[in-house]
Chain A
């Protein structure tokens, strides 16, 4: 059950679009910076496959310039 956090850099002028688009994806939480063009994205998925698919979906967004992983936790289901 991976929990991953990322720094997401939007394309110029696309911060709001990126917030909206990522917010609509399930298993994602978005925390936008108040004063910079940068978002924190935290994903919480059931397994590695789901995690990979979700990451691909985020990376496919046109409003995204760069997605950089910061930390990852993989907790077993029964933990």
Chain B
């Protein structure tokens, strides 16, 4: 392809600036360069098109500059209240991955071990016939779909309609199970309604931000920059409570480190102190809260076909108070390695009636074998002090993916979910059947496989057909050392829709070429209940096609055409308008599409032309109807639940044979499994491969030098990586940390498939490993 000298120099200058930005982002947490976009933008008449960012759950508004049908620039949308024109280093460069040379442009069908380029229509014929044939031979529960918190709302909706409404199986789950399921279970058990009650405007009012196991400087950099702005402007304070010293710790006012899993105990100790010191908001608790306890010693889901159902039992306040006697700061300090002074300090922040406090968390709390409990305990702290549902005061569960909220949680692409409510509830099934125009009996009342169990079922041979979309499970699942061979078995026909080749496409029988983000229209929903729409901005290459349209095409081929009467040109609009019917009313009303097309996102509930910024607070939420200041209307009696949840140890802890904790996670340069960001040259160059972080004392004791190759092994598998000592992050002694973005260093071969028995979300943060020189 011819590139003019001017364009080439302009491109190189942009690369040079991008490299400097990336370097700055790794040195200074939360740094933003709003004017970079102007510097790198080519001259000419660019057509700026609005949309949400492709990466992370913050939901920054972007403007993509299109010239001659190509995306040539990205800048932050100044009209978006989320990011106010700012973007992080990934956001600025997101469209560069489109230019990758190995883009999947055509369907590929595996024949005799070789992938053959195949017309898309033929490939879709094959997918439909295989799916139909499998159902006929083995029953409807032998086929499955596995989608994503990065699927658009229409993509998730048609997947749910195909599986639950048309075929009649609940074999649909998504990768949000790996990141947000504990948050969902926490919301539902405490409030009976999913998603945060507050919004990002809380950042402008809070006096304290307490981050629970959450490296926001790298994972949610634009929100972290909003916290830093308030820190500089108003003296707001950031308290980092974590198991590893990160970029966020460095920028915080105080960093408190705890022993993995003991956040449960520290949370209870905070509750103990709140009550002991008279900081309890008694009238709030009496008016608006119930107290309950559930089953304990639930296990960790390590065995196939594990099942668990909690049995809630009401308790009184004195019983709860007596339970907390086991969590005095003195007792908790012994197991958590958090000093008594620091526990009391944390409690005093929440206990001060004159200070507004936000709690913020994401994977540290959710990817936890007691993740639901940990979410409950954070809510307990806010409910006991009445610091909830008010500007600047509230627990704020952050999302990891751009539409984990909008698609996975709201549309409901989990096995137990429907677009409104759950499959177990007959009224919810009736509503779905009515809108989908299917017999209610077709929607099964029982959930089937959550993610871990779904891939175990593939390995066992119970699932004989699986279609994955917008997801890369053979890098992101826990214990891929079991699931890769499982997916390779001939017993399961594997269809993978994706944009680029990945370790998951490597095991596919059919690869479908998916459109990337801006090559299709869509809608995402972010962490603060904001729904954002975008129109298709550019044409995709070859036969690339939106996942929603491929699902519709397969449904039609399977004989369900009457349920999928959408047109290729307007299917996004038609699907959204159908989906909106599920959420009509003051509690979850969604904005009309024409409003979303004009605005840079709208927060639901959207009532009488207005977003509801703080739910459950009668001043702001028109759905409150109990005549009180607060109304937790997700629960039948309008009261939130304070849960008695104990500390229990992790599923696997270090021992003599495997003496280190393994913690895994992300870094700022790369998004999830790296399939996109590793194809963006500046991000790839900034962090070309994964590594294993050591505490310097551990490295010294093992005789390991920086950069030296080491083998990290567990009872499940091993992974060889270079050592990193005193570089990006600093794990506590006895712990190592590995980013999971690198498909050439598959750390999830090592991790454990233990999960929270309530949410079924795996714990990627804790298992036992040993370290050897490679």
Which A positions have Cβ atoms within 8 angstroms of B? 1, 3-7, 29, 31-36, 38, 40-42, 44, 70-73, 75, 79
Contact of B229 with A by CB under 8 A? yes
B204 → chain A closest CB, angstroms:
15
Contact at A4–B16, with CB atoms within 8 Å? Answer: yes
Contact at B9–A33, with CB atoms within 8 Å? Answer: no
A72 to B17, CA, bound (A): 10
Contact at A42–B35, with CB atoms within 8 Å? Answer: no
Most-contacted residue by chain A among B5, B20, B32, B33 (CB, 10 A): B20
A61 → chain B closest CB, angstroms:
18
Select which of A1, A33, A44, A79 is within 8 A of B28 by beta carbon. Answer: A33
Chain B, residues 221-255, CB within 8 Å of chain A (1/0): the string is: 00001001100100000000000000000000000
Q: From B40, which residue of chain A is reached at the shortest CB distance?
A: A31
Give me 19 A-to-B residue pairs in the complex whose CB atoms sit less than 8 angstroms apart, sorted by A's number.
A4-B16, A7-B27, A29-B13, A33-B33, A34-B34, A34-B86, A34-B225, A36-B31, A38-B28, A40-B36, A41-B20, A42-B13, A42-B20, A44-B13, A70-B19, A73-B15, A73-B16, A75-B8, A79-B8
Contact at A34–B32, with CB atoms within 8 Å? Answer: yes
Closest 8 CB pairs of A and B: A5-B16, A71-B19, A5-B20, A70-B20, A40-B20, A34-B32, A31-B36, A70-B23
Interface residues of B in 1-42 (CB under 8 A from A): 5, 8-9, 12-13, 15-17, 19-21, 23-24, 27-28, 30-36, 39
A41 to B39, CA, bound (A): 11
B73 → chain A closest CB, angstroms:
14
Contact at A40–B31, with CB atoms within 8 Å? Answer: no
A37 to B184, CA, bound (A): 40
A3 to B13, CA, bound (A): 6
Contact at B39–A31, with CB atoms within 8 Å? Answer: yes
* Chain A residues whose C-beta falls within 8 Å of the C-beta of B86 in the assembled complex: 34
A23 to B5, CA, bound (A): 24
B166 → chain A closest CB, angstroms:
49
B605 → chain A closest CB, angstroms:
33
B175 → chain A closest CB, angstroms:
32
A6 to B28, CA, bound (A): 15
Contact at A7–B39, with CB atoms within 8 Å? Answer: no
Contact at A42–B32, with CB atoms within 8 Å? Answer: no
Contact at B12–A75, with CB atoms within 8 Å? Answer: yes
Contact at A35–B15, with CB atoms within 8 Å? Answer: no
Contact at B9–A32, with CB atoms within 8 Å? Answer: no
A19 → chain B closest CB, angstroms:
10
Q: From B36, which residue of chain A is reached at the shortest CB distance?
A: A31
Interface residues of B in 589-644 (CB under 8 A from A): none
A60 to B643, CA, bound (A): 63
Contact at B12–A3, with CB atoms within 8 Å? Answer: yes
B58 → chain A closest CB, angstroms:
16
Q: From B16, which residue of chain A is reached at the shortest CB distance?
A: A5
* Chain B residues whose C-beta falls within 8 Å of the C-beta of A71 in the assembled complex: 15-16, 19-20
A6 to B86, CA, bound (A): 21
A29 to B37, CA, bound (A): 12
Contact at A35–B32, with CB atoms within 8 Å? Answer: yes
Select which of B23, B35, B36 is within 8 A of A7 by beta carbon. Answer: B23
* Chain A residues whose C-beta falls within 8 Å of the C-beta of B13 in the assembled complex: 3, 29, 42, 44
* Chain B residues whose C-beta falls within 8 Å of the C-beta of A41 in the assembled complex: 20
* Chain B residues whose C-beta falls within 8 Å of the C-beta of A4 in the assembled complex: 16
Contact at A35–B225, with CB atoms within 8 Å? Answer: yes
* Chain A residues whose C-beta falls within 8 Å of the C-beta of B17 in the assembled complex: 5, 29, 31, 40, 42
Q: From A37, which residue of chain B is reached at the shortest CB distance?
A: B28
Contact at B35–A32, with CB atoms within 8 Å? Answer: yes
Given contacts A34-B34, A42-B13, A70-B16, 7 further A-B contacts (CB under 8 A): A1-B9, A31-B39, A33-B33, A34-B32, A36-B28, A70-B23, A75-B12
Contact at B23–A31, with CB atoms within 8 Å? Answer: no
Contact at A40–B21, with CB atoms within 8 Å? Answer: yes
A15 → chain B closest CB, angstroms:
13
A31 to B38, CA, bound (A): 9
